[in-house]
Amino acid sequence: MFYREAGQFKTSYRSDQALFPILQDKIGIVLLLAVAFIGVPLTASEFVIDSFITPILILSLAAIGLNLLTGYTGLLSLGTGAFMGVGAFSCYKLTTFFPGVNIIVLIICSGFFAAAAGIVFGLPSLRIKGFYLTVATLAAQFFLSWCFIRVPWLYNYNISASIEVPERMLFGIPVTGPTATVITRYLIVLTIVSVMTWLASNLIRGRIGRTWMAVRDMDIAAELIGIKLYPTKLLAFAVSSFYCGVAGAMLVFLYLGNAESESFSINQSFLVLFMVIIGGLGSLLGSFFGAALIYGLPIVLRMVKEGLGIPVTSATLEHVNFIVLGTLIILFLIAEPAGLARLWQIGKQKLRVWPFPY
């Protein structure tokens, strides 16, 4: 009844191709951002922000990165964790070399290192396709995680083989390190994630995104209509790794505080892949849904158990968690293989025609 575009006439291509062509969507996104930037810091407790919202935002960015590669270009990668690690470790080295430089600039810069790593490991993608490529990206995962352990230079010869985030100021306010407040870190994460999501959505609506989708749908046909496959695929690898790298740097600098190679293991790659597939391949919004579900589910399960007061050992709980997570993954896939984003679309469509069935 309220969500209806009747009467909103487009008089130019520009307005027709706008990011949010419908007025209600524009209002909705402004409200959402207002809540996220003003409402959440004022009302939500630090616990909720620190254990839910910040990590979910960061992981959403990683999921968006993988989605650009897997969902939009059709190249399935299992090296996400390693590319996040490249971002984190290069950010750490950068801030060691240039302690005076604004940390946010360094976080963004570390994305370029991850992009370079992505290009190197994307090189086989022209000749190798499908699941063969997936396994080939595992080479990146294992080689890079090995580097994170065996190259002591990367963690400044720290005995514990981990990187610890130094304190960095921004306009006189500590933004990283132990003294930075939860709210400050949340706001910075939110800003970076919003800007990068906006950039990604413009990227995929433009020429580059269209070439990616053409390659995804059928690469030979794409080549025949004049898309150069190799640069396109490499660009997808580069941009995707850039996003993952920034997410990795944020994960360590703005959330975890310290990290070692284990934080960027193959399990991290799998988790991000789950987020992308459960959220919806080829949907930016889906990346957020997927991250929230996959990250939040184990926490919620634990809370439910505690709330019910069932006396179980933590080991048993862990196993039950595994079973429940596995079952839910399969059930979600059966119920909606196109992901949560599709459910959202269906809901929106229903809302448009409400109260009529169609």
Residues making contact with another protein (CB under 8 A): 70, 76, 124, 127-132, 134-136, 138-139, 142-143, 145-146, 149-150, 218, 220-221, 224, 266, 270, 273-274, 277, 281, 315-316, 318-330, 333-334, 337
Give 170's contacts (C-beta < 8 A, 6+ positions apart): 102, 103, 104, 188
- Token pair 């514990």: residue: 160
CB of 323 to another protein, least distance (A): 4
Kindly state the tokens that stand for 335.
Answer: 């119920």
Spell 223-235 as b/e; 16+ CB within 10 A means b.
eeeebebeebbbb
CB of 211 to another protein, least distance (A): 17
Q: Which is nearer to another protein, 170 or 266 (CB)?
A: 266
CA separation, residue 187 to residues 46, 48, 126 (Å): 12, 14, 40
Distance CA 75, CA 233 (A): 8
Give CA 166 to chain center in angstroms.
Answer: 24
Q: Which is nearer to another protein, 133 or 285 (CB)?
A: 133
Exposed / middle / buried, residue 139 (Cβ in 10 Å: 0-12, 13-18, 19+)? middle
CB of 274 to another protein, least distance (A): 7
Q: Which is nearer to another protein, 6 or 323 (CB)?
A: 323
Q: Which is nearer to another protein, 139 or 203 (CB)?
A: 139
CB of 187 to another protein, least distance (A): 34
CB of 168 to another protein, least distance (A): 32
CB of 216 to another protein, least distance (A): 11
φ and ψ at 345, to 5 degrees?
-60, -45
Q: Which is nearer to another protein, 27 or 330 (CB)?
A: 330
At residue 260, the 3 state secondary structure works out as strand
Q: Which is nearer to another protein, 32 or 300 (CB)?
A: 300
Q: Which is nearer to another protein, 186 or 212 (CB)?
A: 212
φ and ψ at 112, to 5 degrees?
-70, -35
CB of 123 to another protein, least distance (A): 9
- Beta carbons within 10 angstroms of residue 250's beta carbon: 33
